[in-house]
Amino acid sequence: MPLALANDKSIAEAVALLRGGGCVGLPTETVYGLAADGLNVDAVSRIFEMKQRPTFDPLILHVPEGYDLSRICQPNETARRLIQKFWPGPLTVLLPKTELVPDLVTSGLRTVAVRCPSHPVAQKVLSGFGGPLAVPSANRFGRISPTTARAAQEELGEAAFILDAGSCAVGVESTIVNCVGAPSVLRQGGVALEEVRAVLGSDVGLGEESSPLPLVPGALKSHYAPATSLYRSRRVLAECGTLPDEYAYLFWQQLPKRLPKFYRRLTESGSAREAAARLFQFMRELDAMGVNGIICDPVPMENLGAAMNDRLHRASRGWADWDDSRFRLVAR
């Protein structure tokens, strides 16, 4: 099936497919997702099949603006403050679930992740459908999230129905905040940690640090991985010597005097937002170049840089250390 340009007709078709228990690929402001009726176990199980995703990895319920949250979860003051500030937008809250939410959605956990996306196409599908949709990123398990409809199609196959609305503006997944007990950020994403702290206070921690178990399976150590091995450089690549052409390079901002054969540059202006919006697409493109490895510049930690570093770390095999005239690759 060709990609369907998102318009009133294709959106109506998507809603009809979802009502019939089918899956639909759709754009959100963060990444492309694979949607299905979040309260229908058969529909949700199709998501796990299409994504080849293990059922221990729970899904986020996406809701239309103005949805009565008490149907699916028990909102508290922490969540209300976040919702007021960041919805619709790239932030997911984790709250105790209600009976209505199938165990398959939450992998048997008593909490449910809930998000209200700001992308107008996602909102139109959600309000047309009139209830929560389970929407994981539209990649096969463990691979890079798609930020274009074509990348989603590469992941899901030709048979998938995918609404095409161009590239995603944010480019990294939503930030997940655990709102049960002392709030903590479980996955860094489209809303920066600093912004969450500005609303909830500076003591908001990072879930992974305080928890020995990966509460969010997306926090598994290897995730978001391209097929080509990716290594991170601690030194700015433009300041190393002549870069060998056997690798492809992901530059942050500065380009070396002699350009290597394969490269992408994340930002011309040094903007983390611009870089985040391009990161996954560039990883995909470099992955397709048939090189011996991808070597990536250091990414500044400010703002969305933290989420980018997190994804690069999980995607990486280790470090590429410049040693006079060549890289030494060190597994992590």
**Residues near ligand TXA, by CB under 6 A:** 28, 30-31, 33, 57-60, 90, 92, 94, 106, 109, 111-113, 115, 117, 135-137, 173-174, 176, 215-218
CB atoms within 10 A of CB 137: 26
Nearest CB to ligand TXA, comparing residues 28 and 267: 28
Q: How many CA atoms lie within 13 Å of 209's alpha carbon, on the beta-carbon side?
A: 6
Nearest CB to ligand TXA, comparing residues 18 and 113: 113
Distance in Å, CB of 187 to Mg ion, minimum: 10
Task: Give the chain's count of helices (H) and strands (E).
Answer: 10, 17
Core vs surface per residue 226-244: b (16+ CB within 10 A) or e: bebbbbbbeeebeebeebe
Distance in Å, CB of 179 to ligand TXA, minimum: 11
Nearest CB to Mg ion, comparing residues 27 and 260: 27
Which one of 33-41, 67-75, 132-140, 205-213 is the stretch in contact with Mg ion (CB under 5 A)? 132-140
- The CA distance from 247 to 232, in Å, is 12
Residue 176 partner contact from Mg ion, ligand TXA, none using kind-dependent CB cut-offs of 5 to 8 Å: ligand TXA
CB atoms within 10 A of CB 302: 10
Residue 31 partner contact from Mg ion, ligand TXA, none using kind-dependent CB cut-offs of 5 to 8 Å: ligand TXA
Q: Would you give the DSSP letter of residue 70?
A: G
Distance in Å, CB of 189 to ligand TXA, minimum: 6
Token pair of 147, please? Answer: 């930020």
Nearest CB to ligand TXA, comparing residues 40 and 111: 111
Dmax over CA atoms of the chain, in Å, equals 61
Binding residue for Mg ion (CB under 5 A) from 137, 147, 153, 228?
137
Distance in Å, CB of 278 to Mg ion, minimum: 18
Token pair of 162, please? Answer: 């995918």
Distance in Å, CB of 103 to ligand TXA, minimum: 11
- The CA distance from 264 to 281, in Å, is 10
Residue 207 partner contact from Mg ion, ligand TXA, none using kind-dependent CB cut-offs of 5 to 8 Å: none
Three-class SS state of 50? helix
Distance in Å, CB of 145 to ligand TXA, minimum: 7
- The CA distance from 191 to 264, in Å, is 25
